[in-house]
Structure 1
Amino acid sequence: MNTQSDLDWLPESGVQIRKAGVQFDAVRLDGDRGRQIADLLARMTGGDPGPIIETASGRRCVYFLVPPGSTAHLAWPEGVTRMTCGPDKEWFIPVPALDDMTWPLFWRYRPTAPDRFVHTLLLRAVTLHSEE
C-alpha cells in the first residue's frame, strides 16, 4: 500500500464506525480463538492474511474484514458472528486509524491494498477445522 489515502475507508485519526456491506463485511470471533485463527491465516498467506482488527478489552473481539456479501449462504460454526447488512439486520464495524492511538482497538494485521481482504472461504475452512 502506498499511502493511507489509498484506503478511503480508513479514518485519518481515532476510530470510526463503518457500515457492513459497503466497503466490506466482517466475521467476528471472540477471545483466544480469534487471535489464534488470525495468526494461522497469517502463516498460511505469507504474512498477509488481509485486514484484521483486534480489541484488547472486553470479549477481546477479532474482526476479519472480508469482501461485502461474501459470507452469505455459508454455514459458519458456533461462536462466529457474521457482520453484514440485510433487510432485517445492520451491523457496524469499528475501524481504527493506521497510525494513531486507538487503544483498545488496533490492527492485528494491517490492510495492504484497497482490494485486499481476508479470503472468506479460507477463513471459513480454518474456523470449521478449529472446531474439531
Structure 2
Amino acid sequence: MTNAIHWPEWVPLAGHHLRVSGVHFDALRIQGVRGEQVAARLVAEADGNAGPVICEATGFRWMYFLVAPGAAKDHNWPLGVQRFGGAGCRTVTYIGVPALAGNTWPLFWYSEPTPTAPYVVPGQLLTALGPVSPSAS
C-alpha cells in the first residue's frame, strides 16, 4: 500500500506505537462516517497528498488528522472535532501510530505522511469539514 519514501521518526518500523500528542504532532479526531467523509474529501481535494490521516478500524472508527505540533490551537474547530496536543492542553493524550507497512490492525493509514505533506494542513482540513455555523467553535 505504501509508496512513501518519507518515514518520519515518530512512525514505527513495525506494528503500531503510542505517541504523545503535542510532541511530534497535534491530532484532530472525528468519529465514524463523518470522519471518513471528511478524510475522503480532504484526500480528493489534495490530489491524494493530504498528509497523515490514521483510521481506527474498531469501536467508534475514529479518524485522526495529524497536524504540525502547535497548529491545532490556532483554529476554531466545529463541534464533533476533538483536539489533542498543543499549548493550553492540560491532559496527556496518546495517539496510536501504525507503521507504514505490515500488520498494523486495528490502525491503518488512510493517508500517509509524505515529503511534501508531512502533516495535514489545518486550513485544508477546515475546508474539507465544510461550512461552519456561527455558533460552533
Q: TM-score range by the shorter chain?
A: 0.7 to 0.9
The aligned runs of 1:106-117 (5 Å cut-off) are 106-113=108-115, 116-117=118-119
The one-letter code sitting in structure 1 at the alignment partner of 2:5 is N
SS of 1:72's equivalent? helix
TM-score by length of 2: 0.85
The aligned runs of 1:55-94 (5 Å cut-off) are 55-85=56-86, 86=88, 88-94=90-96
**Equivalent pairs, count:** 129
Cα RMSD for the two superposed structures: 1.9
Contact 1:77-1:128 within 8 A present in 2 as well: no
Contact 1:69-1:84 within 8 A present in 2 as well: yes
| Unmatched segments (≥5 aa) in structure 2 | none
Contact 2:67-2:120 within 8 A present in 1 as well: yes
SS of 2:128's equivalent? helix
Per-residue CA distance 1:31-61 (angstroms, 9 max, x = gap): 0111111111111111111010001110000
| Unmatched segments (≥5 aa) in structure 1 | none
CA distance in 1, matches of 2:102, 2:78: 34
Shift of 1:113: 2.0
Work out the percentage of aligned pairs sharing the same amino acid.
Answer: 39
The aligned runs of 1:13-92 (5 Å cut-off) are 13-85=14-86, 86=88, 88-92=90-94
| C-alpha spacing 1:87/1:130, structure 2 compared with 1 (3 Å) | closer
